[in-house]
Structure 1
Amino acid sequence: MRVPRTTGRRRLRMSAVALALVLPLVGGATTTALAVPAAAAPVQAAPVRAQNDAGASVARVDWLTDRRVAVWVNSPSMGVPIQVQILLARDWNRSPGASFPTLWLLDGMRATDVENGWTAETDAETWFADKNVNVVLPVGGQSSFYSDWVEQNNGRNYKWETFLTKELPPILERDWRSTDVRAVAGLSMGGTAAMTLAARNPGFFRFAGSFSGILSTSTLGMPQAIGYAMQDAGGFDVGSMWGVPSGDLWAQHDPYVLAEKLKGTSLYVSSGSGAAGPYDQPSDIPGISTNYAGMGLEILSRLTSQTFATKLTKLGIPATINYRPSGVHAWSYWQFEVKQAWPQIATALGVEADKPACSVGGAIGGAASANGWLGDCLTAEYDVPGGRAQDFRVGRIFTSDSGTHVVAGAIGGAYSGLGGPAGVLGMPTSGELGVPDGRGRYNSFRNGMVYWTPQTGAHAVRGAILDEWARQGYERGPLGYQLRDEVATPNRPGAVQGFEIGAMYFSPDTGTHAVLGTIMEKYGQTGWENGPLGFARTNEIAVRDNGRFTQFEGGNIYWSPATGAWVIRNGPIFDAWKSVGYENGRLGYVTSDEFPIPGGVQQNFQNGFVTVRDGNVQIVP
């Protein structure tokens, strides 16, 4: 459960409710801190290979950096695309044929649909950069406990367990070089879910870690506490999750009840005491944090974690248990805790805990010294098509006969998404440079460029589209910056790329031309290049009274401030309009599309109309 960012009054109320719900637990809970010994080499259950019978597929992939990607997966069970971000393993670039184990990091109660809290609230992205695992970060699932709900609620159809254990793994293994060796950890709600998912799917995860999780969900008072938290975090009805608290589903999702099923899984449990700790802003009362809600929630976590640990001991299941002497329900403590758990996670996954030694020298060393913001090296130098490369904590350096250049950030992501040095862009020919307008940044490559702005993101531009965009003045021209990557037109040979003010189209028969603004909108209404107009034959051309037109294979679109944008197709009406001087003649601008009339068709103009009946053309002033 992520700490609510609310007013002090709400925090006090939440704290009071949480503490009130704690009191019935105290009498029956074991509160002595028990240090259960960790398993040095946990017994490995047979791996579970998930089936994708429901047919999940990838809707979209966005490369955010060279080793952080956002993947949208069409979930048949939930009926919507689910975003999953992946922090790619340290050797992802260096060893393109290798596959890697995965660490899944689950979010808290207030998970958003934008970004997983582990990257939004902690330094996980840079800290895991030198770890040789793919870190899997589900995005969304507010108040879900990452479970399959009995019914829809609050506009959500939650089937998270099905998604995580059946639909997602085959995509990770097929597309993202991930093995079936997995670990899972989470904070608060995510800590509860980590233990529950591991217990309900024996062998699926080799490690399960709970940081401030609620590890006894069906005991006296806990369904009510969870229900209050779910209402506070998104207005969800707890009954829609696992039904009535006395029902079997609550027990079937209770880590305490399921504890025996965790045999053979490497386990890690931690919680604070609820007292103000090193990462808190203390109040005027000694030992009391100003994070009042965080205090109450952490006490609930501590009590249920102790109860859970006691049962593990009775069952003879080893685990690492850390009861911290202070600390409340807050991200600063969970950032600390995942780093403490990492050596055990690494052992369970079969990877080294620390990165191998690497050194920097030669041309790459000079570039690294000049760009200290890249951080430390993660790999040794290695060969890439056309040269050499080396990975650093926040980017890469490439060297070739085109020089030695840094590629990083969102531009590095766009570059990697196109295959990096082995892809269509080839090796870099410049470092990252500023654009004269002060808004954008770019890197040049042998076969194109990648531009970035805060508003448009990073996109490559290359080939004939780059040539025409450059001829028109780059970002200073009529199109502005790229909004989309170049894609092939689906039904006819050609390509299109979206820009801020329109799009650039290419076809072998018509060349490369921009379609802009309102003319672009009208073009879309006709079906783009698959409609009657086909591909553009010209860029936009200025005509009288501040008007514009673009010529297409099958006709033209004219626009003026007074009349708007209209299509006039090649044929007898166009020929008649041409015969009287186009927009400069007696008819003026087009004011409608062609439309049917009895026996023929008609098109209207500012000062008249043209009809075609039985092949006869008539101009009516």
Structure 2
Amino acid sequence: MVVGIGVTTAAASDPIMDSRELLADPVASNGSRIMKATFTGDRTIRLFVYSAAMEQHFPVDVQRPADASVPRPTLYLLNGADGGEGSANWKTRTDIVSGFLADKNVNVVQPIGGAFTYYTDWINEDPTRGKIKWRTFFTEELPPLIDAALGTNGINAVAGLSTSGTTVLNLPIHKPGLYSAVAAYSGCAQTADPIGREFVKLGVDVWGGGDTENMYGPAGAPAWSENDPVLNAHGLRGLDLYLSTGNGLPGVHDTLDNRYSGGTGTNTLANQLIVGGLIEAATNFCTRNLKAELDSLGIPATYNFRPSGTHSWGYWNDDFIDSWPVLARGLGL
């Protein structure tokens, strides 16, 4: 049994937090397992999970339900381009985890790692990062470990922003039945067309120093189309689905004193307005194309096309709250 180090008094309604011990020490079918669990607060745990597919271990942060006396569903909350490895993550930049979700009866699971990988399975090893198989991690390795170790009820939803806004649309397409609800904030659902491909290259090649040919191959290779949610939108049928984006124009969170920006001063704001504005205009284009495809297929979704807003955390904080009824419905809450 995996045991962590207790640091605070646990909630009496949660057998895991009360005992400081996970319910099981499971092993996934390919040998992936939880190596260690550290109890970091009254309701929080950091798991260290070994991925057999990537031959590495990664931290996974968990917030337990407000009432965990019975099995509860799980929300997988994915970070953006840097994988939450730096300060750009839901916990640091928003009030969502410890604030909005504090009274919700859901396991909140945030994997940390995978910067600039698009959380997908790469076709070739990366010269510096080795094997990159995040889709396998999210669909085959992590869920059975979470379900057994935390005693969940097996119902899952997934939400993500920016680059992981693409990921969260691809995951249910590649693993039907694993997730009941999906929320994508400011993601680009296109990868195979020239505009979508350049968007991916910006995140992987330019910002991350990677090589998209190791990720999906040269332009026109099958993997580009296989991981394009617009081309595979039929795979989103039956999900509780939420999609949001701004349009790049300055909005309520584009101010010098905005507490969600992660910094102050004119340079931070200028970057948010210029770079963040251009990126959000692109995600608006992608999201409208996905809506057109879903409409043509008769697949319903909840849309939030904001009349302003850049590619930044204040809007994602607001969008998560707006998406909660959709996620909660899928989770059975």
Which residue is equivalent to 2:23? none
Which residue is equivalent to 1:255? 229
Matched, 1:137 2:110: yes
Q: Which amino acid aligns with 2:174?
A: R
How far residue 111 of structure 1 moved from its aligned partner, in angstroms, is 2.1
How far residue 220 of structure 1 moved from its aligned partner, in angstroms, is 2.1
Is the Cα–Cα contact under 8 Å of residues 195 and 208 in structure 1 kept in the other structure?
Answer: yes
Which residue is equivalent to 1:544? none
Deviations 1:244-303 (A, max 9, x none): 12011011101101100111011110000100000002899xxx9853110111011000
Q: Which amino acid aligns with 2:89?
A: G
Deviations 1:41-79 (A, max 9, x none): xxxxxxxxxx92101111111111111111011111010
SS at match of 1:321: strand
Which residue is equivalent to 2:101? 128
Is the Cα–Cα contact under 8 Å of residues 269 and 322 in structure 1 kept in the other structure?
Answer: yes
The correspondence for 1:340, drawn from 311, 315, 322, is 322
How far residue 115 of structure 1 moved from its aligned partner, in angstroms, is 7.0
TM-score, normalization: structure 2? Answer: 0.84
Which residue is equivalent to 1:429? none
Looking at structure 2, the residues matched to 152 and 209 of structure 1 have their Cα atoms a distance apart, in angstroms, of: 30
Which residue is equivalent to 1:68? 44
Is the Cα–Cα contact under 8 Å of residues 186 and 209 in structure 1 kept in the other structure?
Answer: yes
Is the Cα–Cα contact under 8 Å of residues 114 and 140 in structure 1 kept in the other structure?
Answer: no
Looking at structure 1, the residues matched to 121 and 61 of structure 2 have their Cα atoms a distance apart, in angstroms, of: 21
Looking at structure 1, the residues matched to 272 and 315 of structure 2 have their Cα atoms a distance apart, in angstroms, of: 15
Is the Cα–Cα contact under 8 Å of residues 248 and 278 in structure 2 kept in the other structure?
Answer: yes
Is the Cα–Cα contact under 8 Å of residues 116 and 138 in structure 1 kept in the other structure?
Answer: no
Looking at structure 2, the residues matched to 225 and 316 of structure 1 have their Cα atoms a distance apart, in angstroms, of: 27
After the TM superposition, which residues 266-285 of structure 1 pair with which residues of structure 2 at under 5 Å, given as runs?
266-281=240-255
| Structure 2 unaligned residues grouped into runs of 5+ | 1-26, 257-264
Is the Cα–Cα contact under 8 Å of residues 183 and 241 in structure 2 kept in the other structure?
Answer: yes
- Structure of greater relative contact order (alpha carbons < 8 Å, 6+ residues apart): 2
Q: Which amino acid aligns with 2:125?
A: Q
Paired residues, number: 294
Matched, 1:230 2:188: no
After the TM superposition, which residues 26-65 of structure 1 pair with which residues of structure 2 at under 5 Å, given as runs?
52-65=28-41
Q: Which amino acid aligns with 2:102?
A: A
Which residue is equivalent to 2:275? 293
SS at match of 2:40: strand
Is the Cα–Cα contact under 8 Å of residues 107 and 190 in structure 1 kept in the other structure?
Answer: yes
The correspondence for 2:307, drawn from 307, 310, 325, is 325
Matched, 1:89 2:71: no
Matched, 1:193 2:167: yes
How far residue 231 of structure 1 moved from its aligned partner, in angstroms, is 2.6
Which residue is equivalent to 1:152? 125
SS at match of 2:200: helix
Q: Which amino acid aligns with 1:293?
A: V
Label 1:299 to 1:154 Cα distance change in 2 as closer, same or farther (>3 A): farther
Looking at structure 1, the residues matched to 245 and 278 of structure 2 have their Cα atoms a distance apart, in angstroms, of: 12
How far residue 222 of structure 1 moved from its aligned partner, in angstroms, is 2.1
The alignment yields a C-alpha RMSD, in angstroms, of 1.9
Matched, 1:118 2:90: yes
Looking at structure 2, the residues matched to 53 and 329 of structure 1 have their Cα atoms a distance apart, in angstroms, of: 38
Q: Which amino acid aligns with 2:73?
A: P
The correspondence for 1:265, drawn from 205, 215, 239, is 239
Deviations 1:360-388 (A, max 9, x none): xxxxxxxxxxxxxxxxxxxxxxxxxxxxx
After the TM superposition, which residues 506-545 of structure 1 pair with which residues of structure 2 at under 5 Å, given as runs?
none
How far residue 116 of structure 1 moved from its aligned partner, in angstroms, is 7.2
Structure with greater helix share of residues = 2
How far residue 114 of structure 1 moved from its aligned partner, in angstroms, is 5.9
Structure with greater strand share of residues = 1
Q: Which amino acid aligns with 2:178?
A: F
Which residue is equivalent to 1:5? none
Looking at structure 2, the residues matched to 229 and 54 of structure 1 have their Cα atoms a distance apart, in angstroms, of: 30
Is the Cα–Cα contact under 8 Å of residues 275 and 289 in structure 1 kept in the other structure?
Answer: no
Deviations 1:446-485 (A, max 9, x none): xxxxxxxxxxxxxxxxxxxxxxxxxxxxxxxxxxxxxxxx
Looking at structure 1, the residues matched to 283 and 50 of structure 2 have their Cα atoms a distance apart, in angstroms, of: 34
Looking at structure 2, the residues matched to 154 and 276 of structure 1 have their Cα atoms a distance apart, in angstroms, of: 40
Is the Cα–Cα contact under 8 Å of residues 87 and 93 in structure 2 kept in the other structure?
Answer: no
Which residue is equivalent to 1:240? 214
SS at match of 2:322: helix
Which residue is equivalent to 2:15? none
How far residue 232 of structure 1 moved from its aligned partner, in angstroms, is 3.3
Is the Cα–Cα contact under 8 Å of residues 276 and 289 in structure 1 kept in the other structure?
Answer: no
SS at match of 2:154: strand
Label 1:254 to 1:113 Cα distance change in 2 as closer, same or farther (>3 A): same
Which residue is equivalent to 1:349? 331
Label 1:187 to 1:127 Cα distance change in 2 as closer, same or farther (>3 A): same
Deviations 1:129-151 (A, max 9, x none): 10100011010111111111111
SS at match of 1:174: helix
Is the Cα–Cα contact under 8 Å of residues 80 and 163 in structure 2 kept in the other structure?
Answer: yes
Looking at structure 2, the residues matched to 126 and 177 of structure 1 have their Cα atoms a distance apart, in angstroms, of: 23
Is the Cα–Cα contact under 8 Å of residues 68 and 88 in structure 1 kept in the other structure?
Answer: yes
SS at match of 1:299: helix
| Structure 1 unaligned residues grouped into runs of 5+ | 1-50, 352-621
SS at match of 1:329: coil
Looking at structure 1, the residues matched to 126 and 133 of structure 2 have their Cα atoms a distance apart, in angstroms, of: 12
Which residue is equivalent to 1:180? 154
Which residue is equivalent to 1:211? 185
Is the Cα–Cα contact under 8 Å of residues 83 and 89 in structure 2 kept in the other structure?
Answer: yes
Is the Cα–Cα contact under 8 Å of residues 116 and 139 in structure 1 kept in the other structure?
Answer: no
Which residue is equivalent to 1:164? 138
Looking at structure 1, the residues matched to 162 and 175 of structure 2 have their Cα atoms a distance apart, in angstroms, of: 20
Label 1:113 to 1:289 Cα distance change in 2 as closer, same or farther (>3 A): closer
